[in-house]
Amino acid sequence: MGTMADLNDPLVVAFERCTLQPHEFHHREHLWVAWCYLHALPFEHALARFTVHVQRLAAHFGAPQKYHATITWVYLLELDAAMREHPELGFDALLERRPELGDKQLAARWYDADELASPAARVRFVLPRRARRSAA
């Protein structure tokens, strides 16, 4: 596990304080903040902290409907698994080793489109109905 210094990263601080602009927070930035949390905290704490703050940030941006619980969980679970598989790798090296983490359609490997589009999947984590598909 990392240190609390990971939680003092400037992007993490700006994320938690909602001082970012929408154009400053894309998929890679989501992953970086999640990586910092997972590096510093047990999974359950990282997940809880990330979800609270990403919901706040979406509301701050005037787009609370953009938060998707199931997709958030999928990325944190996949990122955590990759970090455990390759604990020696830093963030950039991990993304090079596991490029699927940069794929915004990663959740489609686990879920059918109708599952992800459901209101239930948006507001809380739902288990997938099928096994994970490998990348095409």
pLDDT in tens, 102-117: 998 999 999 999 999 9
pLDDT at 70: 97
What does the DSSP 8-state code read for residue 100? G
The model's pLDDT over 40-57, given as tens digits with 9 standing for 90+, comes to 999 999 999 999 999 999
Residue-wise pLDDT for 10-43, tens only, equals: 999 999 999 999 999 999 999 999 999 999 999 9
Task: Break the chain into its structural domains and give their ranges.
Answer: 4-104
Region of residue 59 (left: phi > 0; alpha: psi -120 to 50; beta: else): alpha
The mean pLDDT value of the chain amounts to 92
The residues near 21 (Cβ < 8 Å, ≥ 6 apart) are none
